[in-house]
Amino acid sequence: MLNTSEIKEIIQLIESSSSIQEFTLKQGVTELAFKKKGSETVQPAPAAVQNTVISEPFLTTASKQEAPTLSEVTIPTPAPAVDTDTVEIVSPMVGTFYSSASPDTPEFVKKGDTVRNDTVVCIVEAMKLFNEIEAEVEGEIVEVLVQNGQLVEFGQPLFKVRPTGGR
């Protein structure tokens, strides 16, 4: 898990960015989501959604003036894909999308490839950590939605997969 100084650094980066309104970091079973004060709230689908909200006083810092103010920290549940014959593999975090382990190695997957639940489909780099993203679905890649080196947002679709058998 992150220490206090790393969390403060993330908060400062979010606050200094004019384009990032929300940020989510997932490490194992722990997920942290930050939302800028005054940014609009996106309502998830009405399916069984559980949100944990922790108000600003939860963040403890030595000097409160240094830390940007956050209205809340939430742990969202992503909405299901709308397309009925394909499922989307989405980014679990903000970061840089990489289609291969290094520039001189082949892509993990491409259009037409068959994937299993545990197939690594890409890497998303966040804060100098390279996170392998698994398909978590069995089927055929029907579309790659992002390009190598592209910045991706939390919940952004990366691939469309036509599942084999049941979902």
In terms of domains, do 70 and 125 share one?
no
More confident residue, 82 or 22: 22
Question: Of 47, 74, 101, which one is at a domain's C-terminal end?
Answer: 74
- Is 80 inside a domain boundary? no
- Is 79 inside a domain boundary? no
Domain range holding 30? 4-74
In terms of domains, do 68 and 95 share one?
no
In terms of domains, do 39 and 103 share one?
no
57-61 mean pLDDT: 42
Tokens for 26, please give them.
């997932």
In terms of domains, do 58 and 98 share one?
no
- Is 45 inside a domain boundary? yes
Question: Of 30, 49, 74, which one is at a domain's C-terminal end?
Answer: 74
Q: How many domains does the chain have?
A: 2
In terms of domains, do 94 and 40 share one?
no
Q: Phi and psi at residue 67, in whole multiples of 5°?
A: -80, 130
In terms of domains, do 157 and 91 share one?
yes
33-41 mean pLDDT: 67
Residue type, 13: L
CATH number at residue 119: 2.40.50.100
In terms of domains, do 124 and 65 share one?
no
Instruction: For residue range 76-120, list pLDDT tens digits in order.
Output: 555 554 556 899 999 999 999 999 999 999 999 999 999 999 999
DSSP one-letter string for the chain? ---HHHHHHHHHHHHH-SS-SEEEEEETTEEEEEEETTPPPPPPPSSS----EEEGGGS--S-TTTSPPEEEEE---PPPPS-SS-EEEE-SSSEEEESSSSTTS--S--TT-EE-TT-EEEEEEETTEEEEEE--S-EEEEEE-S-TT-EE-TT-EEEEEEESS--
In terms of domains, do 103 and 139 share one?
yes
In terms of domains, do 104 and 157 share one?
yes
Q: Phi and psi at residue 58, in whole multiples of 5°?
A: -65, -35
In terms of domains, do 158 and 98 share one?
yes
Instruction: For residue range 148-166, list pLDDT tens digits in order.
Output: 999 999 999 999 999 987 5
pTM above 0.85, yes or no: no
In terms of domains, do 108 and 157 share one?
yes
Q: What is the 3-state secondary structure (H, E, C) of 47-68?
A: CCCCCCEEEHHHCCCCCCCCCC
